[in-house]
C-alpha cells in the first residue's frame, strides 16, 4: 500500500473566511482522496514565537477597521504598492521564519496550501535556506479587492475567485499559467444538499410558506438591529432566522424583543449550510465567507454593512452582479425587502438567479483537484540553487537574532545527509 501524501494547509483566524476556506479544502480532499492523503490545518499566526502584535492582529482586525477606518484604508493602500510590499515581505520573513522552518522540516508535506496572504515570502525564504522547494499553492479568499501580498511569484499555482482577481494577479507579475479561477472554497455540504427547502424547514421548525430572511451578524454590524426592528414591524408575511454569531450581548438583546413575526434565534451555529438552504435571502455584512456561501446557495444578499477594503469589493461584486443590494440605513432595509417581494416576488427571484450564476458551490472540489495534482506529480521536492540569495538571507536572519548552522547540502524535507535538519539557534536561547 502506498504511503499517504501529507498536505499542509496554512491559515489564520483573522475573521472566519481564511479558516473556513481551509476546512472546505480539507473536507473536499478527504472526500475525494480518502486514505491516500493526510491533511493538516495549521494557524501559523497562533504560534507563540510570532510577535504578539502580529498574533493579536487576527482578533483586532474588525475593531481596527471599524474604529479607525480612514487610517486602515491609508495603511492598506500605502502597503499595496510594489516597494512597500517588498518591505513588508522582508519583515514577515524575519518574524515568521522560525515557525515556517519548523512546519516545513517537521511535517514533510508533499504540498503546502495557504489561505492567508502573509506566508508566501517566509516560506520561500525557508526553501532558499534548505536548498529545496515544496509545491506551494495560494488560495485567495477575497472576491475583488485583493492586496498585493497575496501574489508571490514563487508559488506553483494561485487559485483565485473571479476574473477581476485574476487580472490583479497578472498585473502583479504572476505568470498566466499559474493563475486559475476556481472560486472561493465553501464547504462541500453546500454543494451536496439534496433535500427540498420544505423538508429542511420542517426539520428546523420553521414555517413552510413564509418568505424567510436569514440575518447573520454581531453588535458590530451596522444596521442589523435597526433592520430587524423594521422587518419586525413591517406587516410583511415574513419569518426571521437570526444568528448572533456567538455574541452574548446581541443574543440577549434579541431574546428581549417583542416579536410580531415568527422568529428563530440562534446564538451560534455550526450548520450554516442547512440554514441557508432553508432561507430565501440573507441579511448580513459583506464578509467574504458569508457572501461566498450565500452565492453558492443561490441566495440574494441584502448587505447592511461593508468594511473598507476587501468588504467593499465584495459588496460591489454582489451589487454589480445583480445578486443583491447594499443599503445604508434600516429604512432602506425595509424598502428593499418590500420591492423584492412585490409583484409576487419577481425581483427576489431575479436576484436569486443572479446569485446562482455568480456562485461556485463546487469550488472546494476544484481547489482540491489542483492540490492533489501537485501532490501526485511530486515524488521529491525540487532543488533550488541560489548560494548568493541563501547567504543574504542567513545574514538578514542573523541580524535579528535567528541563526542556522550553515550546512551547504540538505536533503529531502530540509534534512542533512545524516537525516537531521539544519540546526536553528538563537544567541540567547
Residues 411 and 339 in one domain: no
Residues 417 and 395 in one domain: yes
**CATH number of the domain that 384 lies in?**
3.40.50.2000
Residues 228 and 86 in one domain: no
Q: What is the pLDDT of residues 347-360, one digit of tens each?
A: 999 999 999 999 99
Instruction: Place 39 in a pLDDT band, splitting at 50, 70 and 90.
Output: very high
Residues 156 and 28 in one domain: yes
- Domain's final residue, options 315, 335, 358: 358
Give the highest mean pLDDT range of 64-68, 185-189, 253-257, 380-384.
Answer: 253-257
Q: Out of 6-15, 79-88, 128-137, 388-397, which region has the weakest mean confidence (pLDDT)?
A: 79-88
pLDDT at 7: 97
If you average pLDDT over residues 249-257, what whole number do you get?
A: 95
Domain that holds residue 24: 5-186+363-425
State what percent of residues in the chain have pLDDT above 70: 83
Q: Give the dihedral of Cα atoms 81, 86, 91, 95; nearest 10 deg.
A: 100
Which position has the higher pLDDT, 189 or 33? 33
Residues 341 and 376 in one domain: no
Residues 392 and 350 in one domain: no
* Statement: residue 217 has pLDDT above 60: yes
Residues 92 and 13 in one domain: yes
Q: How many domains are contained in the chain? A: 2
* Statement: residue 74 has pLDDT above 50: no
Residues 34 and 101 in one domain: yes
Instruction: Place 427 in a pLDDT band, splitting at 50, 70 and 90.
Output: very low
pLDDT at 67: 60
Instruction: Place 57 in a pLDDT band, splitting at 50, 70 and 90.
Output: low
Instruction: Place 408 in a pLDDT band, splitting at 50, 70 and 90.
Output: very low
What's the longest Cα–Cα distance across the chain? 76
3-state secondary structure string, the chain? CCCCEEEEEEECCCCCHHHHHHHHHHHHHHHHHHHHEEEEEEEHHHCCCCCHHHHHHHHHHHHHHHHCHHHHHHHHHHHCCHHHHHHHHHHHHHHHHHHHHHHHHHHCCCEEEECCCCCHHHHHHHHHHHCEECCEEEECCCCCCCCHHHCCCCCCEEEECCHHHHHHHHHCCCCHHHEEECCCCCCHHHHCCCCCHHHHHHHHCCCCCCEEEEEECCCCCCCHHHHHHHHHCCCCCEEEEEECCCCHHHHHHHHCCCCCCCEEEECCCCCHHHHHHHCCEEEEECCHHHHHHHHHCCCCEEEEECCCCHHHHHHHHHHHCCCEEECCCHHHHHHHHHHHHHHHHHHHHHHHHHHHHHCCCCHHHHHHHHHHHHHHCCCCCEECCCHHHHHHHHHHHHHCCCEECCCCCCCHHHCCCCCCCCCEECCCC
If you average pLDDT over residues 71-80, what whole number do you get?
A: 50
If you average pLDDT over residues 55-83, what whole number do you get?
A: 55
* Alpha-carbon Rg for the chain in angstroms: 23
Residue written as cell 471599524?
66
What are the distances in angstroms from CA 61 to CA 216, 248, 281, 295? Answer: 19, 20, 27, 24
- Domain's final residue, options 340, 358, 376: 358
Residues 121 and 35 in one domain: yes
Residues 384 and 352 in one domain: no
Q: Look over the chain and give the mean of its residue pLDDT values, rounded to a whole number.
A: 85
If you average pLDDT over residues 317-322, what whole number do you get?
A: 97
- Domain's final residue, options 318, 342, 358: 358
Residues 240 and 98 in one domain: no
Which position has the higher pLDDT, 273 or 336? 336
pLDDT at 53: 76
Residues 291 and 248 in one domain: yes
Give the highest mean pLDDT range of 37-41, 80-84, 103-107.
Answer: 37-41
Amino acid at each position: 500500500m502506498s504511503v499517504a501524501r501529507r498536505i499542509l494547509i496554512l491559515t489564520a483566524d483573522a475573521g472566519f473566511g481564511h479558516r473556513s476556506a481551509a476546512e472546505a479544502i480539507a473536507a473536499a480532499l478527504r472526500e475525494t482522496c480518502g486514505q491516500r492523503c493526510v491533511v493538516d490545518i495549521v494557524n501559523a499566526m497562533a504560534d507563540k514565537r510570532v510577535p504578539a502584535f502580529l498574533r493579536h492582529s487576527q482578533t483586532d482586525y474588525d475593531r481596527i477597521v471599524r474604529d479607525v477606518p480612514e487610517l486602515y484604508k491609508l495603511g492598506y493602500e500605502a502597503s499595496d504598492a510594489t516597494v512597500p510590499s517588498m518591505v513588508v515581505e522582508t519583515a514577515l520573513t524575519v518574524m515568521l521564519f522560525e515557525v515556517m522552518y519548523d512546519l516545513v522540516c517537521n511535517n514533510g508535506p508533499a504540498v503546502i496550501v495557504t489561505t492567508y496572504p502573509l506566508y508566501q515570502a517566509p516560506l520561500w525564504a525557508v526553501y532558499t535556506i534548505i536548498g529545496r522547494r515544496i509545491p506551494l499553492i495560494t488560495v485567495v479568499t477575497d472576491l475583488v479587492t485583493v492586496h498585493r501580498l497575496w501574489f508571490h511569484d514563487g508559488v506553483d499555482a494561485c487559485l483565485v475567485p473571479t476574473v477581476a482577481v485574476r487580472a490583479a494577479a497578472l498585473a502583479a507579475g504572476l505568470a498566466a499559467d499559474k493563475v486559475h479561477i476556481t472560486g472561493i472554497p465553501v464547504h462541500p455540504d453546500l454543494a451536496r444538499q439534496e433535500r427540498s427547502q420544505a423538508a429542511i424547514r420542517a426539520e428546523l421548525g420553521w414555517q413552510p410558506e413564509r418568505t424567510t430572511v436569514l440575518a447573520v451578524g454581531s453588535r458590530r454590524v451596522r444596521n442589523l438591529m435597526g433592520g430587524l426592528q423594521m422587518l419586525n414591524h413591517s406587516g410583511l408575511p415574513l419569518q426571521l432566522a437570526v444568528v448572533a454569531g456567538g455574541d452574548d450581548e446581541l443574543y440577549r438583546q434579541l431574546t428581549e424583543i417583542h416579536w410580531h413575526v415568527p422568529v428563530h434565534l440562534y446564538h451560534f451555529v455550526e450548520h450554516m449550510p442547512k440554514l441557508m438552504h432553508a432561507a430565501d435571502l440573507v441579511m448580513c455584512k459583506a464578509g467574504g465567507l458569508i457572501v461566498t456561501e450565500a452565492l453558492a446557495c443561490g441566495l440574494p444578499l441584502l448587505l447592511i454593512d461593508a468594511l473598507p477594503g476587501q468588504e467593499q469589493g465584495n459588496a460591489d461584486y454582489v451589487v454589480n452582479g445583480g445578486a443583491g443590494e447594499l443599503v445604508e440605513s434600516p429604512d432602506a432595509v425595509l424598502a428593499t425587502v418590500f420591492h423584492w417581494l412585490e409583484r409576487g416576488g419577481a425581483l427576489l427571484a431575479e436576484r436569486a438567479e443572479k446569485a446562482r450564476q455568480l456562485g461556485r458551490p463546487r469550488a472546494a472540489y476544484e481547489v482540491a483537484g489542483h492540490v492533489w495534482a501537485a501532490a501526485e506529480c511530486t515524488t521529491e521536492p525540487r532543488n533550488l540553487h541560489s548560494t548568493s540569495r541563501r547567504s543574504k538571507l542567513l545574514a538578514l536572519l542573523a541580524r535579528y537574532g535567528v541563526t542556522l548552522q550553515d550546512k551547504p547540502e540538505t536533503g529531502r524535507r530540509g534534512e542533512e545527509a545524516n537525516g537531521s535538519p539544519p540546526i536553528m539557534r538563537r544567541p540567547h536561547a
